Chains A and B, each alone.
Chain A
Amino acid sequence: KQEVTQIPAALSVPEGENLVLNCSFTDSAIYNLQWFRQDPGKGLTSLLLIQSSQREQTSGRLNASLDKSSGRSTLYIAASQPGDSATYLCAGSSNTGKLIFGQGTTLQVKP
C-alpha cells in the first residue's frame, strides 16, 4: 500500500531564503508525482507534475525532482516570498490516476 510522508510538517523562514520541501513514498511503482499548494480554506492548486519517465520539472522559482529508486521527491523554492506562505502537498498517483497524498508541509515566509 502506497504511503506518502512529508517532512517537515511546518517550516518558517525569512523572506528571500531558498528552501527544500521533502516527500517520500513507499512504493516505487508510482506513476506520477504531483505537487500542490493549498491556501487556508481553499482547494488545491497544481504546481508541478513529474511524470514517471521524468526526473524533474521547473516552473518559475519552483523546481521539483523525482527519484523513484530512493522513493523521494523534493520541491525547491528559490528566493521565497511572503506570498509563498501556504500548505504544500505532494501526491503520488497510481496507474489509474488515483492520488495518494502526504499530510503536507505548512510554510510561513516572514517579511
Chain B
Amino acid sequence: GAGVSQSPRYKVAKRGQDVALRCDPISGHVSLFWYQQALGQGPEFLTYFQNEAQLDKSGLPSDRFFAERPEGSVSTLKIQRTQQEDSAVYLCASSLGREPSSQYFGPGTRLTVL
C-alpha cells in the first residue's frame, strides 16, 4: 500500500516568501505529526494532529509557522515570510490510532531559503 507522501520534495524560496508544504498520510491513519530536521541533527517535533484537531503545536518555532488538517487526512504546513534559519528538511509522519504506536515517515521536503 501507499506510504506517507510529501510534496514538493524540494523547495527553494527567497527570504520573505511564503511556502506551503503538503503531507498525505497513510489512508486511515488518525494521528499526523510534523518534524523539522536541520542538517546533521535529529528531527525535532513541530506539531501533532489527531484527525482534524491540532492537539499540540508546542514545537512550532514562531507564529510564522501554521499547520492545518481540515478534513482529517491531508495536512499542510505553511511558513510565512521565510527566513534563512527555516532552511531544513520538514518531515511528516502518521500513525494508525490515537495511542502512541509506530510512526511512518514520508521522504520529507527539503526547504532552502536564500
Q: Is B105 an interface residue (CB 8 A)?
A: yes
Shortest B75–chain A CB gap in Å is 15
Interface size on A, residues (CB 8 A): 26
Q: Which residues of B contact A (CB under 8 A)?
A: 4, 31, 33, 35, 40-45, 48, 55-56, 59, 91, 93, 95, 99-108, 110
B43 CB contacts on chain A under 8 angstroms: 44, 89, 91, 99, 101
A89 CB contacts on chain B under 8 angstroms: 42-43
Q: Is the CB of B103 within 8 A of A97?
A: yes
Q: Is A22 an interface residue (CB 8 A)?
A: no
Q: Is the CB of A101 within 8 A of B100?
A: no
Residue of B nearest to A89 (CB): B42
Query: How far, in angstroms, from A33 to B45 measured CA to CA in the complex?
Result: 15
Q: Which residues of A contact B (CB under 8 A)?
A: 4, 31-32, 34, 36, 41-46, 49, 89, 91, 93-104
| A97-B101 CB under 8 A given contacts A42-B107, A43-B91, A43-B106 | yes
Residue of A nearest to B6 (CB): A43
Q: Is the CB of B44 within 8 A of A101?
A: yes
Q: Is the CB of A46 within 8 A of B48?
A: no
Query: How far, in angstroms, from A64 to B95 measured CA to CA in the complex?
Result: 21
